[in-house]
Amino acid sequence: MSTTPTTSTPATGNNKPSLTGVRIKQRKRVTAANAKFEPEIFRDALLTLLHPIPPTDYDTLATKLITAGSTLEYLKYADQLFEIVLVGGLLQPGGSYVDKELEKRSTFSVMAQQDESEPEQGAAQHDSKALLEEIKLKIEVLRKVIMRYKYLQKPLEKNVLPALVQYITKWSLLEREQLADAAALLIAQGMASSECLQNLTKDHLVKDSVSISFLTSFIRAYLSAQSSDHLLRLLKTTFKDLADVFPVNQRSRAHVEAHFKAEGLPQVAEWYSKRQTALVKEEMGRWIVRNCEEEEEFGEEWKENVVGYLTSQQAEHSISSSDILTIGWNNFMSTFEWSGSKDQVLRVKLFLPALKNFCKKPMEQVNFLQTLQVFCYDEQKAMKAFPSLVRLAWDAELVTDNAVIYWFDKGAKPQGKEFFLKSVQPLYDHITEEDDEDDEE
């Protein structure tokens, strides 16, 4: 009887092949990740390249920086690269320079170095326009480098600019203006977002007006490269409330507007005023909705409460009576879906007297009729109710005979004009006939 021989050697299927004498090449990124992080060596190498070049020879500087990217590890030392070309040297956490020796600073940087014994001297005497033109040339050097090495854009936007803005208390007024100009031009040219400006709302920057001084310089520089509309969109998306950049005791609407007017930026003051007014109107609308939804009888006490609230808001925020009428009416009508029922007609009749105080002048009355017209046009179910609503306003003495006549003759809006004029024709005829009879008497 034969037996199957046994063996102690492992199965050949488990043997892994080996490549004797073959050199396995690592990916460049793996090699870079395993390499030591030596920012001082990078700095020294970069300064060795830059120091021989005159700091105003911008074309040569751009060429040298672009060429250096093939030998220096820009991807690994992106933050350090921007620190050197923006503020002149490497920074510690907190914003202080790693080395105080001037030999360790770049002769080419956005931020000019002042005599450290007198850091604030000359801050008010410099020519801001000339300074901005000089910084534009320096930013053009950066733009060329970033266009060649586009991976540099993300660390500039996410790391460097937010950190530098957070450190602005470390530098003089002139240096802050230089950094503000540089940030404005980088953002205006699409090399970074405005995310870094959100740091201006931090407490340590807000106090002593450091933030608003920086932002004011930023705005001026930004307007040299982009339109006012572009700037205002940026401010709207960047700041929840522009007043947050001001010291706590200077955040009133009046103070914010006065600051920008005094700084020769009336377009910013006007935009802020309009934005704040819009926010106030939205809050007024919500207040009207809450108080109308909770009320059933619209009695005298309720009416006095509404009139008092609207009057105080009008005085505090300089809102026109015509706007008050539009806010009051549209938000009141938003509390229910119009069906034309008797209960709804009665509800409107009881509500209208609350608006009477804001409907005294002839044009305010005409504007209210226009508000009714546009509302009924937008709410298709209410179109047929327009003559009834006009009659209710007329009966409540919100609108006079002259207001109805003026609206009918030349004050109606284009929206559904022919239909609405025809529907109000009977009331118009009634009013004009009464006027004719009065004239005959």
% pLDDT > 70, the chain? 87
Residue with tokens 């190498």: 45
What global pTM score does this model have?
0.79
Q: What confidence tens digit (pLDDT) does each residue in 249-276 have?
A: 999 999 999 999 999 999 999 999 999 9
pLDDT higher than threshold 70 for residue 214: yes
Q: Answer with the residue of higher pLDDT: 11 or 184.
A: 184
Q: Given pLDDT bands bounded at 50, 70 and 90, which one contains residue 114?
A: very low
Sequence-distant contacts of 121-130: CB under 8 A, at least 24 apart: 122/174, 123/172, 123/173, 123/174, 124/173, 126/174, 128/177, 128/217, 128/220
Q: Which residues of 251-271 are buried (b: 16+ CB within 10 A; e: fewer)?
A: eebeebbebbeebebebbbeb
pLDDT higher than threshold 50 for residue 235: yes
pLDDT higher than threshold 50 for residue 117: no
% pLDDT > 90, the chain? 76
Amino acid at 11: A
Give the pLDDT score at 438: 58
Give the pLDDT score at 119: 43
